[in-house]
Amino acid sequence: MQYPASCSARERREQAFALLYELSSRVFHQTEAQVDAAYRQLDDYVFAELDYAHAKTCCWDSSTRAMYDIIMDGARADAKAAHTCAALVVFKSREDGYQRWANHAAAMGRSAEWRAWSEDESCAARAVAVDAEAALEATPYCSLPAR
């Protein structure tokens, strides 16, 4: 993902899955859970769709591929450390903003590659502390078959 903060990319992915669910059901008689088991990836959960009007992350157009790599490295480390399936942390503004990922960048020796949030477009949600997530229609991550 070139721009991990992109909410439009997150929305387009879920729209594509909705089309895939419909096609797979009609043509192959597959359930949404079967489609998710075959095609959902870790990224789909880490970059879950956000509620655009209530997520300042959606206004951050200057995130980078390096930041994506840092976020995903942290997600893979979290998944391994859990030893059992644990809910994934969605990349979004949290109580501490984006400090979780900035700290991980520092731990990786990649602090210089982490960019602080900036209002790169007009942002009605600029004062939102914790971004709101859109309802995820996907099979919960921990319900997918182990890979």
* pLDDT for 87: 79
* pLDDT for 86: 78
CB atoms within 10 A of CB 80: 8
Degrees to nearest 5, angle at CA 140 with 139 and 141: 110
Please state, in angstroms and rounded to a whole number, the distance separating the CA atoms of residues 91 and 10.
11
* pLDDT for 82: 65
pTM, full prediction: 0.92
Three-state SS sequence of the chain: CCCCCCHHHHHHHHHHHHHHHHHHHHHHCCCHHHHHHHHCCHHHHHCCCECHHHCHHHHCCCCCHHHHHHHHHHHHHHHHHHCCCCCCCCCCCECCECHHHHHHHHHCCCHHHCCCCCCCCCCCCCCCCCCCECCCCCCCHHHCCCC
* pLDDT for 147: 61
Q: Which two tokens stand for residue 131?
A: 């971004």
Q: Which amino acid is residue 124, in one-letter code?
A: A
pLDDT in tens, the chain (147 residues): 778 889 999 999 999 999 999 999 999 999 999 999 999 999 999 999 999 999 999 999 999 999 999 999 999 998 887 677 877 899 999 999 999 999 999 999 999 999 999 999 999 999 999 999 999 889 999 888 876
